[in-house]
Amino acid sequence: MTQSANASRPAVLVTGAAAGIGRAIAARFARQGWTVGLYDIDAAAVRTTAAEIGGHTITGAFDVTDPTGWDTALREFTDATGRLDLLVNNAGILYSGAFGDIPLPRHHRLIDVNIKGVLNGCHAALPHLLRTPGSQVVNLASASALYGQPGLATYGATKAAVRSLTEALDLEWRHHGIRVTDLLPLFVATDMMTEVSKGSKSAATLGVHLTPDDIAQAVWHTANQRRAWSGPHVLVGLQTKLTA
Ligand code: NAD
């Protein structure tokens, strides 16, 4: 659904935009006057979210594990906007618990959504990013990419893969003028955090609670290069409490 778009306005596509961090990122860019594509697996929720945040929005529903869904979404979005300044690969899932207690299909689903979802997005978006000068990708990894945590083994492994993919693509696409960054947040107060608290004592006892708006702010600063460039990884949490 297109509410309004205009090729003179910068355009961002956010996955997992119906709730949590994705919703906050979409709202932040909408407030700044960007055209925002809100995409989520939950069609009804993403429409409601777009209506609530207002601004210039485009919505659609697809599963990030589906390459055809990506192609359709990107075609419809760029047909409406004429550009793709920023792709935010935010959609992600988490199952926590003892490794052996989590059924194998859930481990596989984590890999599909959290790794293949990001990979599919980067692959499908590349032609559109190449056509938009100064374009960027921001991937939501996690501080879990940096160290193994009991209860979050496969989740952490998927985020380590996103971190590695980000670093490689940032190097590979730099000569095209495309910047690729990941965010490595500590724990953010969303529905996902509730799941973490259930399954990982070490996660819960870390007790660091960012808000979705903190992450939206970090994406905004990253996209606008207000931070000193320190490489493709942005740790959000302990030392980084950004101000507007
Ligand atoms: P959330 O569960 O609150 O929201 C995730 C959104 O993604 C939901 O709207 C959901 O419908 C959508 N989604 C799930 N699977 C999808 C799929 N296959 N295709 C399309 N959309 C899908 O999660 P959140 O806490 O907002 O997390 C967002 C991102 O940030 C995730 O990648 C997560 O791993 C990462 N992250 C979260 C935290 C945290 O503490 N919450 C910390 C670090 C990183």
Q: Where are the domains of the chain?
A: 11-236
CA of residue 91 to ligand 1 center, whole Å: 5
Tokens for 142, please give them: 């996690």
Which secondary structure element, helix H or strand E, spans residue 39, and what is its range? strand 35-40
Measured distance CA(182)–CA(241) in Å, rounded: 17
| 39 among known catalytic residues | no
Q: Say yes or no: CB of residue 200 within 6 Å of ligand 1.
A: no
CA of residue 175 to ligand 1 center, whole Å: 31
Helix (H, G, I), strand (E, B) or coil at 12: strand
Q: Say yes or no: CB of residue 156 within 6 Å of ligand 1.
A: no
Counting atoms of ligand 1 from 1, which one is nearest the CA of 21? 26
Q: Say yes or no: CB of residue 16 within 6 Å of ligand 1.
A: yes
3-state per-residue secondary structure call for 33-89: CCEEEEEECCHHHHHHHHHHHCCEEEEEECCCCCHHHHHHHHHHHHHHHCCCCEEEE
- Ligand 1, atom 35: nearest CA belongs to which residue? 140
Measured distance CA(121)–CA(109) in Å, rounded: 17
What is residue 115's DSSP assignment? I
Counting atoms of ligand 1 from 1, which one is nearest the CA of 187? 40
* Residue written as token pair 């205009």: 6
Question: Catalytic: which of 39, 95, 147, 155?
Answer: 155
Amino acid identity at 151: G
Architecture of domain 11-236: 3-Layer(aba) Sandwich (3.40)
Q: Are 106 and 95 in contact (CB under 8 A)?
A: yes
The confidence score (pLDDT) of residue 236 equals: 85
Per-position pLDDT tens, the chain of length 244: 445 567 789 999 999 999 999 999 999 999 999 999 999 999 999 999 999 999 999 999 999 999 999 999 999 999 999 999 999 999 999 999 999 999 999 999 999 999 999 999 999 999 999 999 999 999 999 999 999 999 999 999 999 999 999 999 999 999 999 999 999 998 898 888 777 766 555 555 555 679 999 999 999 999 997 555 667 898 887 554 444 3
What is residue 184's DSSP assignment? E
134 in the Ramachandran plot: left (φ > 0), alpha (ψ -120 to 50) or beta?
left
Strands ordered across the beta sheet of 136-140? 56-61, 35-40, 11-15, 86-89, 136-140, 179-185, 233-236
